[in-house]
Chains A and B, each alone.
Chain A
Amino acid sequence: MAKNEMLPGTLGMLILRVLQPGPIHGYAIAQRIHQLSNELLQVEEGSLYPALQRMLLKGWVRAEWGVSETNRKVRFYRLTAAGRKQLQSEINDFDRVLQGIQAVMSKA
Chain B
Amino acid sequence: MEFFRRIYYLLNRRRMERELQNDIEAHREMMSRENRRDFGNPTLLREWSREAWGWTWLDRFLQDVRYGLRMLRKNPGFTVVAMAALTLGIGANTALFSVVYGVLLKPLPYAQGDKLVVLHQEFTKTGQNSVGFSVKEIKDYREQTRSMAQLEEYHQMGFILLDGKEPSEVRTAVVSAHFFEMLGVTPYQGRFFTDADDTSGADAVLVLSYNYWKQRYGGDPSIVGRHFRMNDKVHTVIGIMPPVPQYPQESDVYMPTVACPFRSSQMMISERNDRMMRLFARLKPGESLQSGMQDMELIASRLQKSYPANYPTARGFTATMDGLQVQLTREVRPRLLVLLAVAALVLLIACANVANLALARMMRREQELAVRAAVGASRGRLVRQLLTESMLLSLAGGALGLWLASGCLSLLVTFVARFTTRAAEVSISTPVLLFTLVVSVVTGLIFGSIPAFSQRLDLVNTLKESGNAASAKFNRNRMRNLLVVGQVALSFVLLIAAGLMIRSFIKLQQVDGGYNGENVLTANVPLNFSKYNNDKSRKAFFELLVQKLESSPGIQAVAINSGAPLAPGRPSSQTFVIEHRPVTENDSKPESDIEVASPGAFHLLGVPLLSGRFFTPQDKEDAPLVAIISRGMARHYFPDDDPLNKRISPDDGKHWFAIVGVVGDVKQYGLDQDPVDTVYLPFDVLPQMGTVLLKTAGAPFNYAKQLRDAVYSVDPDQPITNLKTLDQLRGDTLAATRLTSLLLAMLAALALAIAATGLSGVTALLVSQRTREIGIRLALGAQRGQVLRMVLTQGMHVIVIGLAFGTGFALLLTRLMRALLFQTPVTDPATFAGVALIFLTVALVASYIPARRVIRVSPLIALRSE
Contacts and interface: CB of A to CB of B under 8 A. Distances in A.
Given A57-B5, A70-B29, A50 B49 contact: yes
B19 interface: yes
Contacts of B40: 44-46
A75 B45 contact: no
A30 B24 CA distance: 12
Interface in A54-85: 54, 56-59, 63, 68, 70, 72-75
A57 B52 contact: yes
Nearest to B44: A46
Interface in A80-108: none
A59 B2 contact: yes
Contact of A53 (B1, B26, B44, B53): B53
A57 B20 CA distance: 13
Nearest to A74: B26
B22 interface: yes
B6 A45 contact: no
B48 interface: yes
Contacts of B54: 57
A54 B52 CA distance: 5
A59 B1 contact: yes
Contacts of A26: 23-24, 26-27
B50 interface: yes
B10 to A, nearest CB: 11
A50 B6 CA distance: 14
Contact of A50 (B5, B30, B52): B52
Given A45-B40, A50-B48, A50-B52, A57 B27 contact: no
B610 interface: no
B19 A63 contact: yes
A70 B30 contact: yes
B51 A49 contact: no
Contacts of A32: none
Contact of A49 (B6, B23, B31): B23
Contacts of B26: 25-27, 68, 72-74
Contacts of B44: 46
Contact of B45 (A27, A46, A54, A72): A46
* Category for how many chain B residues contact A: 20 to 34
A100 B743 CA distance: 79
Contacts of B27: 26-27, 30, 45
Given A27-B26, A27-B27, A63-B19, A57 B9 contact: yes
Contacts of A45: 24, 27, 39-40, 45
A73 B31 contact: no
Contacts of B24: 26, 45, 49
A45 to B, nearest CB: 6
Given A49-B24, A49-B45, A70-B30, A75 B19 contact: yes
Given A45-B39, A45-B45, A49-B45, A57 B6 contact: yes
A25 B40 CA distance: 19
Contacts of B20: 49, 53
Interface string A28-58: 0010000000000000111001111110111
B22 A49 contact: no
Interface string B1-17: 11001100100000000
Q: Max chain A CB contacts within 10 Å: which of B22, B27, B31? A: B27
Interface string B21-49: 01110110111000000011000111011
Given A57-B9, A58-B2, A68-B30, A75 B50 contact: no
Contacts of A56: 5
A50 to B, nearest CB: 5
Contacts of A70: 29-30
B159 to A, nearest CB: 77
Nearest to A42: B38
A66 to B, nearest CB: 11
B208 to A, nearest CB: 66
Given A45-B40, A59-B1, A75-B19, A53 B49 contact: yes
Nearest to B52: A53
Nearest to B19: A75
B23 A50 contact: no
A93 B19 CA distance: 33
Given A45-B45, A46-B45, A46-B48, A75 B23 contact: yes
Q: Max chain B CB contacts within 10 Å: which of A30, A45, A46, A54? A: A45
A45 B54 CA distance: 19
Given A45-B40, A49-B45, A49-B48, A57 B23 contact: no
Given A27-B27, A59-B2, 9 more contacts: A26-B26, A26-B27, A46-B44, A46-B45, A49-B45, A53-B50, A73-B22, A73-B26, A74-B22
Interface of B: 1-2, 5-6, 9, 19-20, 22-24, 26-27, 29-31, 39-40, 44-46, 48-54
Interface of A: 25-27, 30, 44-46, 49-54, 56-59, 63, 68, 70, 72-75
List the 5 closest pairs (A to B, CB-CB), nearest first. A53-B52, A49-B49, A74-B26, A27-B30, A27-B27
